[in-house]
Amino acid sequence: MDINQISELFAQAIGAKNVITGERLALRGTGYCAASYDGDVLLTPCSAQEVSEVCRLAAEHGLAIVPHGGLTGLVQGTATAPGQVALSLEKMNRILDLDPVQGVVTAEAGVTLQQVIDAAEPHGFAPGVDLPSRGSCTLGGLASTNAGGIQAIRYGMARDNILGLEAVLADGTILDLNNTLLKNNAGYDLKQLFIGSEGTLGVITKITLRLHSRPSSVQTALIGCAGTEDLFQVLASTRKAFGASLLSFEAMWPEFFTQIATHLGNRLVSPDCGIYGVIETGQWGEPGQDDALTVFLAQCFEDGLLQDGTVAQSETQRRTIWQLREDADVIESLSGPCLSYDVGLRLNDIPGYVEQLQERIARDCPGVGCYVFGHMGDGNLHIMAGPAPDPISHAAIDGAVYGVLQQFAGTTVSAEHGIGLEKRAHLPLSRPDAAIAAMKQLKAALDPKCMLNPGKIFAC
Ligand SMILES: Cc1cc2nc3c(=O)[nH]c(=O)nc-3n(C[C@H](O)[C@H](O)[C@H](O)COP(=O)(O)OP(=O)(O)OC[C@H]3O[C@@H](n4cnc5c(N)ncnc54)[C@H](O)[C@@H]3O)c2cc1C
């Protein structure tokens, strides 16, 4: 079928204005995946029924569907090849119900995380998942990538916060797996199949999220330590001292921190530390121990664990601290396009991994910068490395990141971003053959013709 025939087919089901091609499509940003619109057709259905009709028609005509959320995914999961059809949930952007007694919110899958944060705040709630891409990423994207983020140390990943969902299968069946109960063991918990499956098993159309009491105040600190061992000791002590009040514990290696701090003209802490961390703690109820983090960090200084540190004294300062951690795009604006990685290791292996990685990149990839940061409390490192202008340098950097990773046990090539197309070749490093075979059986059972996001995670 040519583009006109495809447009005509879907226009009958969802209206011509919801079939976007040509100039209207060319005007759109492709997000973090340059190939998001290579199929030249984007559908924007307005309801689960319309998504169902689109899937039914697509299956009938052998057209693959690629679900799109906010296009902030970092593993090419929204790449839409010629002959495939992109399906965006952007018009399904309504919060349907927020129940402050139950502490749950139900929303259409195209709702952004920021919309949920804003809707929950007046009721004294917040979603447990929070990411730097909160302004654009959608609940459908969060669910299908099982996103982690900056508060996973406290509230877990998306999977731990999703109570129910609705998904449309490849043949158009609408599967109502919605649920607002904290406890529901009536048979298999099928929603889990769709969480983290990157749009390969169904199009998620509705989600119910658990909400959490918003802290009445937070304390945020930027700290600098001589090295990773000291930062680990601070992490261990922070866990002991703050328990469930510890919301975030992030790390930035000097190459990453210095680039961003210099760019932002930030002088909150010394530029000469061996490693940097961001700690955020919450307080619930009446004000009382607003300086608990300050007191705790003063003790860390006395114990020789900190080289420098500052606790935010205002919301503006808090935002500045988070900007240092979250503005990773600055690295690319200064150093050119980078490859990005998202590995997971046991905490004790992190110092050895980073040291060996930096040595290997210096040896095998001359001229390539290596910038490491991430969710230290979760053992999740993000690595940006570049420039990698050609496939040979790309392969050399991949070889360094994953070659060194293989020397450690119990690691993952994807702690939170997923596999998409980008990390497909490396999936066997993290999952045994039998597990990948079981994944393929599951895919064949739910999507036998491989119509949903084909080629993502593994080849059908
Ligand atoms: C600045 C920045 C910071 C980030 N920080 C984090 C972080 O801390 N933690 C983290 O985990 N991730 C992070 N990410 C990655 C990304 O934001 C998350 O993976 C997010 O969950 C993707 O949501 P999205 O709506 O943009 O999805 P998209 O990018 O549109 O899609 C991502 C994947 O989900 C599928 N998909 C999207 N919507 C649906 C749907 N309704 N049904 C079925 N499949 C669907 C797509 O096919 C694709 O495979 C970050 C990204 C950026 C740009």
What pLDDT, on a 0 to 100 scale, did the predictor assign at position 111?
98
- CATH hierarchy code of domain 3-88: 3.30.43.10
Ligand 1 centroid to residue 73 C-alpha, Å? 4
Secondary element (H or E) of residue 98 = strand 95-99
Ligand 1 centroid to residue 137 C-alpha, Å? 6
Q: Please tell me if the CB atom of residue 144 comes closer than 6 angstroms to any atom of ligand 1.
A: yes
Q: How much is the average pLDDT of 87-100?
A: 98
- Does residue 289 register a pLDDT over 80? no
Nearest Cα residue to 359 out of 404, 389, 393, 398: 404
CATH topology for 217-326 is: Alpha-Beta Plaits (3.30.70)
Q: How much is the average pLDDT of 167-194?
A: 97
Q: Please tell me if the CB atom of residue 140 comes closer than 6 angstroms to any atom of ligand 1.
A: yes
CB 224 within 8 A of CB 308: yes
Confidence of residue 335 (pLDDT cuts 50, 70, 90): confident
Q: Please tell me if the CB atom of residue 113 comes closer than 6 angstroms to any atom of ligand 1.
A: no
Ligand 1 centroid to residue 30 C-alpha, Å? 13
Confidence of residue 354 (pLDDT cuts 50, 70, 90): very high
- Does residue 286 register a pLDDT over 90? no
Domain ranges of the chain: 3-88, 95-213, 217-326, 329-433
CB 254 within 8 A of CB 356: no
Q: Please tell me if the CB atom of residue 297 comes closer than 6 angstroms to any atom of ligand 1.
A: no
- Does residue 287 register a pLDDT over 80? no
Token pair 């990423």: residue: 137
User: Which CATH number among 3.40.50.300, 1.10.1070.20, 3.30.465.10, 1.10.540.10 corresponds to the domain 95-213?
Assistant: 3.30.465.10
Q: How much is the average pLDDT of 241-268?
A: 95
DSSP assignment of 33-50 equals: -TTTTTTS-EE--SSHHH
- What percentage of the chain's residues is helix, strand, coil (to nearest 5)? 40, 20, 40
Q: How much is the average pLDDT of 196-224?
A: 97
C-alpha 155/C-alpha 244 separation (Å) is 9
Nearest Cα residue to 207 out of 272, 141, 139: 139
What pLDDT, on a 0 to 100 scale, did the predictor assign at position 330?
93
What pLDDT, on a 0 to 100 scale, did the predictor assign at position 182?
94
Ligand 1 centroid to residue 167 C-alpha, Å? 17
- Strand order across the beta sheet in which 308-311 lies: 308-311, 217-225, 275-283, 246-252, 369-375, 380-386, 339-344
Confidence of residue 285 (pLDDT cuts 50, 70, 90): confident
Lowest mean pLDDT among 47-61, 113-127, 322-336, 343-357: 322-336
- Does residue 33 register a pLDDT over 90? yes
C-alpha 255/C-alpha 259 separation (Å) is 6
Q: Please tell me if the CB atom of residue 67 comes closer than 6 angstroms to any atom of ligand 1.
A: yes
Neighbours of 392 (CB within 10 A): 9
pLDDT digits (tens, 9 = 90+) for 357-385: 999 999 999 999 999 999 999 999 999 99
- Does residue 306 register a pLDDT over 80? yes
Confidence of residue 184 (pLDDT cuts 50, 70, 90): very high
C-alpha 1/C-alpha 61 separation (Å) is 9
Q: Is the dihedral of CA 238, 134, 420, 65 positive or negative?
A: positive
Q: Structure tokens of 11?
A: 């226009």
Pocket test for ligand 1, best of 51, 66, 72, 91 (most atoms within 8 A of CB): 72
**Rg of the chain over CA atoms, in angstroms?**
23
Pocket test for ligand 1, best of 68, 136, 146, 457 (most atoms within 8 A of CB): 68
Q: Is 150 exposed, middle or buried (0-12, 13-18, 19+ CB in 10 A)?
A: buried
What pLDDT, on a 0 to 100 scale, did the predictor assign at position 266?
82
What pLDDT, on a 0 to 100 scale, did the predictor assign at position 242?
96
Pocket test for ligand 1, best of 133, 175, 195, 207 (most atoms within 8 A of CB): 133
Same fold, 95-213 and 217-326: no
- What architecture is domain 329-433? 2-Layer Sandwich (3.30)
